[in-house]
Each structure stands twice: as structure tokens, then as C-alpha cells.
Amino acid sequence: MLLDVNDSQLVLVDYQSRLMPVIHDGPLVLANALRLARMARLLRVPTWGTEQNPEKLGPNDPALRELCQKTLSKMSFSAAAEGLPEVLRPPVRAAAGNARSLPKHLQKPAAHPAPERNTVVIAGCEAHVCLLQTALELIEQEIDVWVVTDACGSRTERNRDAAFDRLAGAGAELITTEMVAFEWLRDAGHPAFREVLALIK
């Protein structure tokens, strides 16, 4: 099974100013998160960010924050406990007003909700805490979770790798930034191929 760009959303967890300096391979992890966010913008994939206790850990990297449609501030380690599922699957709004009181030719057609995107491509820090807990709770809510391993980090490699082992066992797909790029594109004839390729070279 390949990633489908039209079914994908991107979630970027806690790339915060006071956290990133202590993350193993932090600059590379952040660079890959930025690549993901820029690819998502080119390919019109909705992109969401989270920040854990930003008063203490600071905001997300400014360039990354700008590429997110919304950044969710949280105190729980899992963003799923603080409203992320509602961002990913917004409730359908009922039509306002009493349409039946209007003549048929003046009634607006029923609004059709946008197709639901049920695949979450997720990356973040720390992999064994906020990323892990968020991803596991999304899996419990029957969302397909794909973890971008080279855009995830922890203070130690051991904690990061333990998170990947646990996520794979829970049913998450483990992928890399380049795998996301080429699966979202699917072929070299895609109109955004050269721009995406420039991001990963």
C-alpha cells in the first residue's frame, strides 16, 4: 500500500526552540520536518503543528510554524487528548436557517462535506513521548498513521528506536521523508515533480 496524497494530512509534533538543541541529530530532524511541510504545501496536503507547554519549551521553529495551517498548544503529551482528532476530522455543520420555509428555487443545495482524509503522516519530538502517545491514540481512533522516522527525534537514539519498535507493533507504517515525497508524487510527470525533487536533493 502506497501513500495517497489526496487522503493525507501532515502532523508535525513539538519542534520547539528549547527542545531541539538537545535532540539527537536535531538539525537533520528539523530539516526533514521542513522538507515535509514544504512538500505538503506544494501538493496541497493539510498541515498541522503542535507545541507542548510552549511557555516552558518555546514555540516551534518559526519557518515550520508558518507552514502549518494551525498550531495546537497542549499540556497533555498526546495531542489526541487535546483536540487533534477534531482538527483532523472536523464535524459536519448543519445547515443554518429554516430552508424549508423558502420556495424550492431559492433553497441552497445541501452542502457536501469535503472528503475525509484518513491518513496521517506524522513526525516529531520527542519520539518516545509526545509523538508516540499522539500516534498510538490516533491509531486507536482508526486513523491510518505513517511515521516519518528521519524527521523524528529524542534526546537519545535508544528512546527514539524504542518508539519506532512500539509504533510498528501497533500498526503504524514507518517511512522516510524521501518515501513520502515519491509516494505523494507517484510519477515523474507530476506538475510539482521538479520542485519536490529540489527539496530532497
Q: Does residue 60 lie within any of the structural domains?
A: yes
Q: What percent of the chain has pLDDT over 90?
A: 84
Q: Does residue 149 lie within any of the structural domains?
A: yes
Structural domain total, the chain: 1
Closest CA to 122 of 31, 47, 27: 47
Task: Output the average pLDDT for the chain.
Answer: 91
Does residue 63 register a pLDDT over 90? yes
Handedness of CA 14, 16, 22, 25 (dihedral sign): positive
Q: Does residue 100 lie within any of the structural domains?
A: no
pLDDT of 22-43, one tens digit each?
999 999 999 999 999 999 999 9
pLDDT for residue 96: 53
Is residue 86 classed exposed, middle or buried when 0-12, 13-18 and 19+ CB atoms within 10 A define those classes? exposed
For residue 195, the domain's CATH number is 3.40.50.850
Q: Does residue 190 lie within any of the structural domains?
A: yes
Cis peptide before 126 (omega within 30 of 0): yes
pLDDT of 78-135, one tens digit each?
999 999 999 998 765 555 555 555 565 555 555 544 558 899 999 999 999 999 999 9
Q: Does residue 93 lie within any of the structural domains?
A: no
What is the mean pLDDT of the segment spanning 67-77?
97
Q: Does residue 154 lie within any of the structural domains?
A: yes
Q: Does residue 16 lie within any of the structural domains?
A: yes
Q: Does residue 97 lie within any of the structural domains?
A: no
Q: What percent of the chain has pLDDT over 70?
A: 88
Domain of 59 in residue numbering reads as 5-88+114-200
User: What is the distance of C-alpha 30 from the center of its chain?
Assistant: 14
What three-state secondary structure class fits 35? helix
